[in-house]
């Protein structure tokens, strides 16, 4: 499928295969500034580590561990720093996706988020002022669940996560954009798998 379908804000090389797109809005929300963010996940042995955001942006939602890329950092360095700051651990993170978010009632900047993943980590997972880490089962409905582990709580996550997280879990590189309203509803979205 043509790569020219990618929405504004999506920067990419190679071949993209769109997997989801939709929304009632006919236009992508405009944006002026873009700020760089990271988000990191540990996925191992049928489980994924998420953090419950205790304060600030996205409070009350489960997410990976991440935040803003500081001016002196690469996204990979920022991802490692945020994982240490928010969960107390280190991990051999590798890049697996890129997401672009525009919030309807937040016109300060759009979010360009590099997504990282690791299968291992070192150190002891700790609760921090910002995040309460928790393991969730990655097993699909109908399959055997890990002992006492809840499934991924999509109803308590950013609304876009359900579209790209299956690609993350399947280790399939992805890219996408979502425009969200202030109540965490999706206005318009487009997600693709990167096949080269
Ligand atoms: N829509 C959506 N889906 C999934 N993930 C995210 C979004 N929007 C987002 O912003 N995010 C991610 C991107 C980042 O990982 C975090 C937001 O980072 P934040 O905690 O605001 O950044 P910090 O640098 O930690 O902020 P301060 O601690 O400096 O205030 O959510």
Per-residue pLDDT for 58 more than 60?
yes
Q: Tell me the sheet residues that pair with 191.
A: 20, 176
Residue 61 vs residues 6, 65, 128: alpha-carbon distances, Å: 28, 12, 15
pLDDT for 114 equals 98
User: Can you tell me which atom of ligand 1 is nearest the CA of 113?
Assistant: 13
39 lines ligand 1 (CB under 6 A): yes
pLDDT for 1 equals 40
Q: Could you tell me the CATH number of the domain that includes residue 66? A: 3.90.79.10
Q: Positive or negative, the Cα torsion across 181, 11, 76, 123?
A: positive
Atom 20, ligand 1: which residue's CA is nearest? 67
Residue, of 11 and 191, whose pLDDT is higher:
191
Per-residue pLDDT for 2 more than 50?
no
pLDDT for 107 equals 76
Taking only Cα atoms into account, the Rg of the chain, rounded to an integer number of angstroms, comes to 16
Listed residue (159, 169, 105) closest to 137, CA to CA: 169
86 lines ligand 1 (CB under 6 A): no
Weakest mean pLDDT among 4-13, 22-31, 99-108 = 4-13
- Measured at the CA of 192, the angle between CA 112 and CA 172, to 5 degrees, comes to 95
pLDDT for 180 equals 95
User: Can you tell me which atom of ligand 1 is nearest the CA of 111?
Assistant: 10
Residue, of 12 and 39, whose pLDDT is higher:
39
Atom 8, ligand 1: which residue's CA is nearest? 101
Residue 18 lies in a domain: no
pLDDT for 14 equals 86
* Residues 176 and 164: beta-carbon distance below 8 Å: yes
Residue 134 lies in a domain: yes
Residue 24 lies in a domain: no
pLDDT for 143 equals 54
114 lines ligand 1 (CB under 6 A): no
122: tokens are: 């070192």
pLDDT for 182 equals 85
- First-to-last alpha carbon distance for the chain, in angstroms, is 13
Atom 15, ligand 1: which residue's CA is nearest? 66
pLDDT for 184 equals 93
pLDDT for 98 equals 97
Residue, of 101 and 13, whose pLDDT is higher:
101
Q: Ligand 1 pocket check: which of 38, 50, 58 to mutate, most ligand atoms within 8 Å of Cβ? A: 58
Residue 4 lies in a domain: no
The Cα 105–Cα 195 span in angstroms is 34
List, in order, residues 6 or more apart from 37 with CB less than 8 Å away.
Answer: 66, 67, 68, 69, 111, 112, 113, 114
Residue 13 lies in a domain: no
The Cα 34–Cα 68 span in angstroms is 11
Q: Which residue has the tokens 């993943």?
A: 117
CA 37 to centroid of ligand 1, rounded, Å: 7
Residue 78 lies in a domain: yes
Residues of the domain holding 137: 29-190
Residue, of 12 and 80, whose pLDDT is higher:
80
Average pLDDT over residues 180-196: 93
Question: Residue 154 in 3-state DSSP?
Answer: helix
Average pLDDT over residues 141-169: 86
Residue 133 lies in a domain: yes
- Measured at the CA of 79, the angle between CA 73 and CA 81, to 5 degrees, comes to 75
List, in order, residues 6 or more apart from 74 with CB less than 8 Å away.
Answer: none
Residue, of 105 and 157, whose pLDDT is higher:
157
Per-residue pLDDT for 137 more than 50?
yes
State the average pLDDT for the chain.
92
Number of domains making up the chain:
1
Residue 1 lies in a domain: no
* Residues 168 and 43: beta-carbon distance below 8 Å: yes
Q: Tell me the sheet residues that pair with 22.
A: 189
């Amino acid at each position: 499928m043509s790569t020219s379908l990618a929405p504004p804000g999506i920067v990419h090389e190679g071949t993209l295969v769109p997997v989801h797109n939709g929304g009632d809005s006919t236009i992508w929300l405009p944006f002026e500034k873009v700020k760089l963010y990271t988000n990191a996940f540990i996925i191992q042995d049928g489980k994924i580590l998420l953090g419950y955001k205790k304060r600030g942006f996205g409070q009350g939602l489960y997410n990976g561990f991440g935040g803003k890329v500081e001016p002196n950092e690469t996204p990979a360095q920022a991802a490692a720093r945020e994982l240490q700051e928010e969960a107390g651990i280190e991990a051999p993170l590798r890049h697996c996706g890129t997401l672009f978010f525009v919030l309807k009632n937040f016109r300060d900047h759009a979010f360009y988020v590099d997504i990282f993943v690791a299968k291992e980590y070192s150190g002891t997972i700790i609760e921090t002022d910002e995040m309460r880490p928790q393991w969730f089962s990655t097993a699909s409905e109908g399959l055997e669940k890990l002992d006492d582990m809840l499934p991924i709580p999509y109803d308590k996550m950013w609304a876009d996560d359900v579209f790209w997280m299956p690609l993350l879990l399947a280790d399939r590189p992805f890219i996408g954009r979502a425009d969200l309203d202030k109540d965490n509803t999706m206005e318009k979205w487009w997600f693709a798998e990167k096949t080269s």
